[in-house]
Amino acid sequence: MSAVLEVTGLRKAYAGVHALDGVSFAVEAGSITGLIGPNGSGKSTAIDCISGFQRLDSGKVVLAGADITGRVAHHIARAGLMRTFQTVRVYERLSLSDNLAIAHQQFDAATWVDEFLRTRRYRKAVEASEARARRLVELIGLQRYYEAEVGILSYGQKKLVALAAALMPHPKVVVLDEPVAGVNPSRIREIEEALRQLNQAGETFLIVEHNVEFITNLCHQVVVLDQGLKLAEGTAAEIHSDSRVLEAYLGTTPEIAEAEMRTSA
């Protein structure tokens, strides 16, 4: 595999305090990469800078060979990096199918003139959108709700809708900001399985999450931040056996830290 997202020397400071201090890592195409660390480690700042919601002080972000450093968020999205947010963002009063159609419409080539005249380009865009939506809904396991209002769904199911919406324009990578925060355990397993199915279908993810068990169960590679620095990087097994990670993550002895990491939510 080759890297679809390369982050090099990321730096960001607030009033002289370094939120990120030279962080570098890569996300391989077709992989699921986790980004973890204690509160204040720089995880949220990192993904905000990568996705264009904050300006970095220095460093470089490359997406599929194209330098996207410093671009604004909507340009980065059009370049192929989509993201979700910790607080779920969906259209509650619209159907699941309409939510996904809107997500696709923002990126298709058809114009309002095409829509008004019902041109061939418009019809092709609609057909492609529906085919993509039905495939994604199947992969996330919400087929029975395809025409239902999203407002009736559980919080965890709404997170799956937001995930599917981010995937509608065929992005190169999707950044997920705490996809299981506030979700009950049974829904967490559903989200984990949906992400696994989507990944097997070829989708690439970078996931920021406090639930370490979720990350280590799912991710091929895990990056650990602490106080704005990259503390470690490796497989889930390598991270679990690294005493520096266990101590830094929970500020306690490795034995206690490991036990708490396994039950962290």
Cα–Cα dist 229/190, whole Å: 32
Query: What per-residue confidence (pLDDT) applies to 103?
Result: 92
Report d(CA 153, CA 146) in Å as an integer.
11
Q: How far, in Å, CA of 59 to CA of 9, rounded? A: 5
CA distance 183 to 110: 37
What are the structure tokens assigned to 151, written together? 């407002």
Q: What are phi and psi of 173, to 5 degrees?
A: -155, 145
Residue type (1 letter), 162: A
> What structural domains and CATH numbers belong to the chain?
1-80+171-265 (3.40.50.300), 89-170 (no CATH)
pLDDT tens digit at each of 265 positions of the chain: 689 999 999 999 998 889 999 999 999 999 999 999 888 899 999 999 999 999 999 999 999 999 999 999 999 999 999 999 989 999 999 999 999 999 988 777 777 776 767 788 778 878 888 999 999 999 999 999 999 999 999 999 999 999 999 999 999 999 999 999 989 888 899 999 999 999 999 999 999 998 888 998 999 999 999 999 999 999 988 888 787 777 766 554 445 455 555 544 3
